[in-house]
Amino acid sequence: MQLDSKIPEGPLAEKWDKARFSNKLVNPANKRKYEVIVVGTGLAGGAAAATLGELGYNVKSFCIQDSARRAHSIAAQGGINAAKNYQGDGDSIFRLFYDTIKGGDFRAREANVYRLAQVANNIIDQGVAQGIPFAREYGGTLANRSFGGAQVSRTFYARGQTGQQLLIGAYSAMMRQVAAGKVTLHTRQEMIDLVVVDGEAKGIITRNLITGEIERHSAHAVVLATGGYGNVYFLSTNAMASNVTAAWRAHKRGAGFANPCMVQIHPTCIPVHGDSQSKLTLMSESLRNDGRVWVPKNANETRKAADIPESERDYYLERKYPSFGNLVPRDVASRNAKQACDDGLGVGETKLGVYLDFSEAIQRDGLDVILRKYGNLFHMYEKITASNPTKEPMMIYPAVHYTMGGLWVDYELMTTVPGLYAAGEANFSDHGANRLGASALMQGLADGYFVLPYTIGNYLAKVAPEPTNTNHEAFDEAENSARELTTKLLKNTGSGKSGLKTVDYYHKKLGQVMWDDCGMGRNKEGLEDALKVIPEIREEFWDNVTVPGKGNELNQSLERAGRVADFLEFGELMVRDALEREESCGGHFREESQTEENEAKRDDENFSHVSVWEHKGEGNKPVMHKEALAFENVTPSQRSYK
Amino acid sequence: MSSKTINIIVKIWRQTGPHAKGNFEDHALKDISTGSSFLEMLDVMNEALANKGKEPIAFDHDCREGICGMCGAVVNGTAHGPEKETTLCQLHMRSFKDGDTIIIEPFRATGFPIVKDLIVDRSALDSIIQAGGFISVNTGSPQDANSILIPQHIAEQAMDAAACIGCGACAAACPNAAPMLFIGAKISQLALLPQGQQEARTRAVSMVGCMDENGFGNCGNERVCENVCPKGISIRHIARMNREYLKGAFAQSD
């Protein structure tokens, strides 16, 4: 596997200009002869489909939901960063770049992150032009807030629904292209294989989720904007259908998978209520701007929060990190919450929770002000928990939220399979080992609106503009293997075999292993154990899973079974990657690599690289390649929030 | 967050396909935690069915945080169930009592053919957006975001409308099966903003025309839509849509 990151030569600030100039262009009259498949309709996929359509390409857009307006980007609450410096508080493109690469604990590429900071401003302009109702000041200018511990106010927002508004913006732009005949929608279609013809991506195999039919689709290039893999843990803040299938099957067809162990665990989620819990709900971390995190000082505390006197409370983030206090980065806040609960200080029925208390803020600013800022979040919290955060503190606990790892891509967002691109959370490129708040929306839209539409032309210009078809034997082979998979998943149906278990049973079992051994804290022993257990669960799954219904009809159990089958393979790769990375960095905390004060200890000498995994066929060990990270414009420093 | 458990009877709609005859099926569920969401209750039921080798009930859902608009069903006669401004996924079992019978049906509207069980086809809503629910601006370099000033109260009103999640409950609840709250919200959002006013003349006429083509009815001011809307969108937006429509219709006859 060759890893050529294709980073342009020259000064950081000029690289993107240089790339755009040296990229080959597709003749405007020829653009209509090219077809591009875009899988996924979140921010990255929606933005890419709309923009490619506007440019004149013929786009085939695929999503598993019933509409292109529903992908999980929609759930992002807090906001989107850009270095507009509208507040005149010292922001700049370089500062946004620096904060993002430092936040990622120096495990991302300088050139990619700098480009992200450069194009971020265009996203805000684009969004406003599309009619996105961003928050405004009285005078009519755009409002900003400080978010996720940033020292400048650079976050744009639309109440607590920024993701929704940006996604609907991209969706509307895409619908305009559907009306113009440039984008064809294929909703309720799941990509189940990538078709590689003579080493290049030339199509996909999908399952029509309504009819169960296996379909072939061809194009000159394929874009995967299929999101992250947080649901490998079963419980996460991801939508129920979020999955790794498209990325994983592409990996099995030759796309390198980078840093799979890099997972962000978000500190402010609503704690688990019981066994029937199906997913976790995030509370925007903007709450930490005014909420104070604490636990009782004594284990076995039984009093209500309000009855515990100040002197018996431990505001542990303020105590341990006096300069950042409650605004420490997500990974630090999460690990400390886990630590408090491991020490027996957790609160709530399950003792897996810590308080997030607004009483002081309400006293200081008044209830009105606090409700204006967080009213919708309080409302959402109360709906789920039946508890009012203005009367008693919220309870929060960390939950799996975002995956920084993903398909390896070069500077042009192309994977190791020529003609196959990955955008948004599905790629690995911009967040390193930890993503900063309000950066996911920024990256998804940057990739979709402003990067991919430029770089894909550089590939297409070298491809003959001949009509595509699905006749090649690679399509036969991929379609057959998709059919075989369905048959294999359904083999126990109606067999009368005893001891069969449902798909969810195995998903939960895998999730527990991942959470325990490859979650907030990881160590060699646990990871090695997981490497033994996961293949056992997988084997049991294939022997004993029951999937009711048939293959040639709408069958949600079968959809889930396919996704869980892939998680069962992918989980093992994550563990392998976590085992290999013997340092702590960002969201990846190896317990063996700590400072004397129990903080994460990065090891730049040995691990300043991206780990890229190559699939070597069923039953064979994958091979790891390294892309070395060079820092020419910033000096990696140990993060300190003391 | 203390929860207890309840026993309930669920009467739920089963239908194998768009043209098949449907029927209600009864399921007795025991020990449902009141802390569970409504959809988690359905998960428990489906898991039990799967364990018996029977086919689970098909229902749409995704984010389970009340924002994607994928879920929805009529519960005891009300779209999204008894709680105000709540999507089905955010409805919790604490809203029900021990011994309750809960009747669950799909969203019913001519424009939403049933696909299977509780799943309906809402692609007509996408068609309506394709007819004009956008501002025609290509990706590129629009002017600086702050060069368009929008007073705060206007931005807030536009945001009230933009909160629509496209779930279709408005059409399902309307006696005329009219998705006018959905359309009104989009037209109103764009009409309030200076960016959207360039195409105001054609947008409303085109979107309403598309609504008619898809077999939906018209607004009769029953206000049921407003009552079931999980985002609390006001029918004032339908009034604004009507104004926009009239303006557009007159402009077209020029």
* Contact indicator for B14, B22 with CB cutoff of 8 Å: yes
CB atoms A68 and B126 under 8 Å: yes
pLDDT grade, residue B2 (50/70/90)? Answer: low
State whether residue B133 sits within 8 Å of chain A by CB. yes
Q: Is the pLDDT of residue A216 over 60?
A: yes
CB atoms A131 and B54 under 8 Å: no
Compute the residue count for chain B: 254
Instruction: Write down the pLDDT at residue A160.
Output: 85
Q: What is residue A601's DSSP assignment?
A: -
CB atoms A128 and B43 under 8 Å: no
Say how far apart CA B58 and CA B15 lie, in whole Å.
9
Instruction: Write down the pLDDT at residue B1.
Output: 46
Same fold, A18-228+241-257+407-460 and A473-603: no
Distances (CA, A) of A384 to A233, A239, A307, B86: 21, 16, 24, 11
Instruction: Write down the pLDDT at residue B201.
Output: 83
Q: What is the pLDDT of residues B192-244, one digit of tens each?
A: 999 999 998 899 999 999 999 999 999 999 999 999 999 999 999 999 999 99
Which of the following is catalytic: A69, A70, A154, A330? A330
Residue of B nearest to A395 (CA): B1
Q: Which amino acid is at A331?
A: D
Q: What is the pLDDT of residues A36-51, one digit of tens each?
A: 999 999 999 999 999 9
Domain of B130?
123-135+150-253
Say how far apart CA A148 and CA A289 lie, in whole Å.
8
On whether both B77 and B198 belong to a single domain, the answer is no
Q: Which amino acid is at A542?
A: W
Q: How does DSSP assign A77-117, residue by residue?
A: -S-EE----TT-SS--HHHHHHHHHHHTTT-S-HHHHHHHH
Residues of A in contact with B168 (CB under 8 A): none
Helix axis angle, B180-192 to B123-130, nearest 10°: 30
On whether both B127 and B111 belong to a single domain, the answer is no
Residue of A nearest to B145 (CA): A125
- Higher-pLDDT residue of A640, B125: B125
| Mean pLDDT of all residues belonging to chain A | 96
Residue B81 lies in a domain: yes
pLDDT grade, residue A330 (50/70/90)? Answer: confident
Instruction: Write down the pLDDT at residue A306.
Output: 93
Of A196, A191, A221, which Cα lies nearest the Cα of A206? Answer: A191
On whether both B155 and B104 belong to a single domain, the answer is no
Of B237, B183, B231, which Cα lies nearest the Cα of B210? Answer: B183
Tell me which residue has tokens 């605004």. A327
- Higher-pLDDT residue of A286, B188: B188
Say how far apart CA A459 and CA A411 lie, in whole Å.
13
Instruction: Write down the pLDDT at residue B254.
Output: 54
Element (H, E) at A488: helix A473-489
Give the nearest partner residue to A494 out of B53, B146, B159, using CB atoms. Answer: B53
> What is the distance of C-alpha A383 from the center of its chain?
26
On whether both B99 and B131 belong to a single domain, the answer is no
On whether both B219 and B243 belong to a single domain, the answer is yes
- Using a 10 angstrom Cβ sphere, with 0-12 exposed, 13-18 middle and 19 or more buried, the burial of residue A181 is exposed
| pTM strictly above 0.95 | yes
The CATH code of domain A266-399 reads: 3.90.700.10
Residue B165 lies in a domain: yes
Count: domains in chain B: 2
Residues of B in contact with A20 (CB under 8 A): none
- The domain made up of A473-603 has a fold known as Methane Monooxygenase Hydroxylase; Chain G, domain 1 (1.20.58)
State whether residue A70 sits within 8 Å of chain B by CB. yes
Element (H, E) at A222: strand A221-224
Instruction: Write down the pLDDT at residue A376.
Output: 82
Return the half-sphere exposure (C-beta side, CA atoms, 13 A cut-off) of residue A42: 33
* Contact indicator for A345, A295 with CB cutoff of 8 Å: yes
* A-B C-beta contacts closer than 8 Å: 235
Give the nearest partner residue to B155 out of A51, A136, A173, using CB atoms. Answer: A136
Residue B54 lies in a domain: yes
Residue of A nearest to B117 (CA): A554
On whether both B41 and B83 belong to a single domain, the answer is yes
CATH number at residue B159: 1.10.1060.10
Q: What is the pLDDT of residues A415-435, one digit of tens each?
A: 999 999 999 999 999 999 999
On whether both B165 and B95 belong to a single domain, the answer is no
Give the nearest partner residue to A125 out of B32, B61, B145, using CB atoms. Answer: B145
On whether both B23 and B101 belong to a single domain, the answer is yes
On whether both B103 and B128 belong to a single domain, the answer is no
The domains of chain A are located at 18-228+241-257+407-460, 266-399, 473-603
**Is A330 a known active-site residue?**
yes
Q: Is the pLDDT of residue B88 over 80?
A: yes
| Mean pLDDT of all residues belonging to chain B | 95
Three-state SS for A625?
strand
On whether both B108 and B48 belong to a single domain, the answer is yes
In A319-419, at which residue ranges do the beta strands (DSSP E only) sit?
Answer: 354-357, 394-403, 406-407
State whether residue A142 sits within 8 Å of chain B by CB. yes
Question: Under CATH, domain A18-228+241-257+407-460 is a member of which superfamily?
Answer: FAD/NAD(P)-binding domain (3.50.50.60)
pLDDT grade, residue B253 (50/70/90)? Answer: low
Q: What is the pLDDT of residues B93-124, one digit of tens each?
A: 999 999 999 999 999 999 999 999 999 999 99
- Using a 10 angstrom Cβ sphere, with 0-12 exposed, 13-18 middle and 19 or more buried, the burial of residue A618 is exposed
State whether residue A372 sits within 8 Å of chain B by CB. no
On whether both B52 and B103 belong to a single domain, the answer is yes
On whether both B162 and B223 belong to a single domain, the answer is yes
* Contact indicator for A177, A53 with CB cutoff of 8 Å: yes
Residue B242 lies in a domain: yes
Q: Is the pLDDT of residue B252 over 90?
A: no
Instruction: Write down the pLDDT at residue B20.
Output: 96
User: Which residues face A546 on adjacent strands?
Assistant: A502
Residue B142 lies in a domain: no
CATH number at residue B65: 3.10.20.30
